[in-house]
Amino acid sequence: VASDAAPASASAETRGLFATFCAACHGATGDGNGTTKLDRPARSFKDGGFSYGNTPDAIAKTLAYGIPGSVMPSFGTSLSEEQRIALAKYVIELGPQDMPTESPDRVMVVSDRALVARGKLPPIVEGGEEIPRGLLVGTPDGFTFAYRTDDLRLIAVYQGEFAERTDWMGRGGTQLKPLGKLVASFGRGTPEQSFFVRDEYGMGVRCTARFLGSRVLGSDAAVEFELAPARGATTKPVARVAETMRPASSSVGSGWRRRLVVENLTDAVLGIENVTALDVQLVKDRKNVESVPDSAMSMRRLIEGGGSVVDAWWSPVAGEGDGAGEAGYHFDFVVAPHSTREVNTLTLLVPVWNDDIAKRWSDEVKSMTSGGVR
């Protein structure tokens, strides 16, 4: 049973941090009854069961990166790592005394380096299909990016704890279970491939993606694959791609950034489209399709139940043939023959939208090629 008193072991500094950064929403005692009026009640720390795990590390990551699509902000710049850990321990002490605060042995924990795990994945959405060959990339900030590797594609994004594996003997009989909250899914686990190559008649032929491997790069991990036409006279590789996913935050919300480095190996033109398409059932309406200088483009979509998703696409160097697709539902980037090109996409979940946020977002899109978003 949780106590109404502040934990005696907490320092005056930590109690002051809680009063400054947490109490307005979560209440002075952590009971969820803060003075700030919210559309949805804030979490009661008295009840325990935190969204992304009960460990100090999991809660500190939530403080650092916020919760996409909610009013829970990021404190990554306003609080030091030591302060976030101290606050995490403080809110744990506000909860039930019997609340587990350690991960079981079967739970894989991401520390200060990215972690990659391969195995069978459960259906991404209710009624979806099991993923026999899956891959999870966990980053230190609490994001997990799920791929299918039979025809490599990003299929889901989670936030919270990483994954649970019961198949430690490597016999493949059980699933690799993501433990975080599902933040976004793509095509119910089978999204359309984003890459295509122009044939001799100028028509676009979809590519398939053969998984080559993954590399851990400190706190990031790269997934590498090669592309080949799904049909036609040749199925030889036409391109190699290195893809890196990482969390991202800005003044309007938090989400993730996807970086693609594409090497075109042929005399044909390679195209990339619709790289950030979320499941259609999440989208209520599409608004504010905009092309801006420096080869950046953006779009806002309204989400059922409130809030918005904003997407931005950009490349450090403008390419001939780049542009918005029909009705602005997707964007195309072109990779010229025998060239290498970098393409970035940013997806942010924004709980509230107004004129001030719209102006800030427009300014940030314009500054992306100069590093305006981290």
Of 90-99, 165-174, 344-353, the poorest mean pLDDT is in 165-174
* Position 260 confidence tier, pLDDT thresholds 50, 70, 90: very high
Of 21-25, 36-40, 191-195, the poorest mean pLDDT is in 36-40
Domain count of the fold of the chain? 3
Residues 160, 52 share a domain: no
- Domain assignment present for residue 300? The answer is yes
Q: Which of 71, 94, 117 is the last residue of a domain?
A: 94
Q: What is the mean pLDDT of residues 43-47?
A: 82
Q: Which of 140, 161, 188 is the last residue of a domain?
A: 188
- Domain assignment present for residue 101? The answer is no
pLDDT of residue 200: 67
Residues 249, 181 share a domain: no
Residues 239, 335 share a domain: yes
- Domain assignment present for residue 86? The answer is yes
Domain of 357 in residue numbering reads as: 192-370
Give me the half-sphere count of Cα atoms (radius 13 Å) on the Cβ side of residue 194. Answer: 25
- Domain assignment present for residue 67? The answer is yes
Residues 160, 220 share a domain: no
Q: What is the pLDDT of residues 162-189, one digit of tens each?
A: 998 866 544 445 688 999 888 888 887 8
Query: Which of 23, 15, 27, 28 is closest to 90 using CA atoms?
Result: 15
Residues 114, 85 share a domain: no
Residues 230, 159 share a domain: no
For 228, the token pair is 């080949």
Greater confidence (250 vs 88) lies with: 88
Greater confidence (202 vs 264) lies with: 264
Q: Round to whole Å and give the CA distance between 297 and 278.
A: 17
DSSP 313: E
3-state DSSP percent of the chain in helix, strand and coil, to 5: 20, 35, 45
* Beta carbons of 360 and 251 less than 8 angstroms apart: yes
Residues 198, 183 share a domain: no
Q: What is the pLDDT of residues 186-244, one digit of tens each?
A: 887 888 888 988 876 667 888 999 999 999 988 889 999 999 998 866 678 999 999 99
For 366, the token pair is 């314009």
Q: Which of 188, 214, 237 is the last residue of a domain?
A: 188
- Domain assignment present for residue 100? The answer is no
Residues 145, 35 share a domain: no
Residues 349, 334 share a domain: yes
Residues 205, 336 share a domain: yes
